[in-house]
Amino acid sequence: MSQLTFAEAEYAIKKRKTRREKFLDQLEVLIPWQKLKQQVGKGYSKGGPGRPPYPLETMLRIHIMQLVYNLSDPEMEDYLYEVESMRRFAHLRLCESIPDETTILNFRHYLELHKFGKKVFDTINQHLADKGLRLREGTIIDATIIAAPTSTKNADKARDPEMHQTKKGNEWHHGMKMHIGVDDGLGLIHSITTTGANAHDITQADQLLHGEELRVWGDAGYQGVDKREEHEEREVEWLIAMRPSKRAQLTKSNPLAQAEKIKASVRAKVEHAFFTLSACLVTARFGIAAWKKTLIAYAF
Same domain for 196 and 172, yes or no, is yes
Same domain for 155 and 285, yes or no, is yes
How many domains is the chain partitioned into structurally? 2
Residues 6+ apart with CB under 8 A from 5: 93, 94, 95
Mean pLDDT throughout 53-66?
90
HSE (CB half, 13 Å, CA atoms) of 239?
21
| Any domain includes 262 | yes
pLDDT of amino acid 287 = 45
Contact 107/62 with Cβ under 8 angstroms?
yes
- What is d(CA 70, CA 236) in angstroms, rounded to the nearest whole number? 37
- What is d(CA 259, CA 270) in angstroms, rounded to the nearest whole number? 18
Q: Is 23 helix (H, G, I), strand (E, B) or coil?
A: helix
pLDDT of amino acid 91 = 92
On the 0-12 / 13-18 / 19+ scale of CB atoms within 10 A, 128 is buried
Mean pLDDT of the chain: 79
- The tens digit of pLDDT for each residue in 240-254 reads 999 989 988 988 888
Same domain for 32 and 141, yes or no, is no
Q: What domain range is 153 assigned to?
A: 119-299
- Residue 15 amino acid letter: K
Q: How do beta strands 138-147 and 171-183 pair?
A: antiparallel
Same domain for 107 and 135, yes or no, is no
Q: Helices marked H in the chain — which ranges?
A: 6-13, 19-30, 33-40, 56-68, 73-82, 84-89, 101-113, 117-130, 244-247, 255-277, 288-299
- What is d(CA 67, CA 293) in angstroms, rounded to the nearest whole number? 9
Same domain for 167 and 284, yes or no, is yes
Same domain for 140 and 183, yes or no, is yes
- The tens digit of pLDDT for each residue in 38-50 reads 888 877 866 544 5
- What is d(CA 277, CA 274) in angstroms, rounded to the nearest whole number? 5
The residue ranking higher by pLDDT, 8 or 267, is 267
- The tens digit of pLDDT for each residue in 249-295 reads 988 888 888 888 888 888 888 877 666 555 444 433 434 444 444 44
Which DSSP state fits 251? -
Same domain for 74 and 125, yes or no, is no
User: What is the pTM assigned to this prediction?
Assistant: 0.56
Q: Helices marked H in 168-287 — which ranges?
A: 244-247, 255-277
CATH number at residue 236: 3.30.420
| Any domain includes 28 | yes
- What is d(CA 176, CA 162) in angstroms, rounded to the nearest whole number? 8
Contact 182/104 with Cβ under 8 angstroms?
no
